[in-house]
Amino acid sequence: MYRAIAPAEAKTYKLAQSLQRNLDAKRLLREAINDIKEVIADGDWPTEVTYVDGTGVKRTVVLRSKGEAENLLKDLESQYQTAKDMTQMLQMQLQDAMNKQQQVYAMLSAIMKNQHDTLKQIIQNMR
């Protein structure tokens, strides 16, 4: 019985992990965006900024002007939007996987109930 459930559970678990990684990347991007906005507001050039991009890579750049900071901000906002779209897609996939997993559980439950009822009937017929 476990062999029937294992693939559905594995797929659900894999999707949940992907979603968590995506949510973490989104959070780091949001923090980086806020940091860049603060740098732009401060207006102190040149400024060294360390941030984590959408791929999870830690980067350090020297921003020499407001224009460079705004370009970086646009790039990070674009990465954030991509991560946001990916989050929505992963959430739908995870929901679908969970529904399929629930269907597998329901089917196995029905099979086990049928087996139980059949065995119970056999035992009653023997008496």
- Kindly report the CATH number assigned to the domain that includes residue 44: 1.10.287
Residue 31 lies in a domain: yes
Whether residue 31 has pLDDT greater than 70:
yes
Question: Can you give the residue range of the structural domain that contains 53?
Answer: 2-116
pLDDT at 42: 92
- Phi then psi for 125, rounded to 5 degrees? -70, -25
Whether 123 is in a domain gets the answer: no
Q: Is residue 87 part of a domain?
A: yes
Is the pLDDT score of 2 beyond 90? Answer: no
Handedness of CA 84, 88, 93, 94 (dihedral sign): positive
- Looking at the domain assignment, is residue 127 inside a domain? no
Share of the chain above pLDDT 70, in %: 98
Domain-embedded: residue 121: no
> For position 62, what pLDDT does the model report?
95
The rounded distance, in Å, linking the Cα atoms of 112 and 117 is: 9
Residue 64's pLDDT is 94
pLDDT tens, 84-107?
999 999 999 999 999 999 999 999
* Structural domain contains residue 61: yes
Rama region for 51: left / alpha / beta (φ>0; ψ in -120 to 50; rest): beta
pLDDT at 4: 73
For residue 35, is it within any domain?
A: yes
pLDDT score of 3:
79
pTM, full prediction:
0.78
Number of domains in the chain: 1
- Of 6-10, 23-27, 32-36, 86-90, which range is least confident? 6-10
- Nearest-5° angle of CA 19, CA 105, CA 92? 25
**pLDDT confidence bin for 114, thresholds 50/70/90:** very high
Asked if residue 1 has pLDDT above 70, the reply is no
For residue 80, being part of any structural domain is answered with: yes
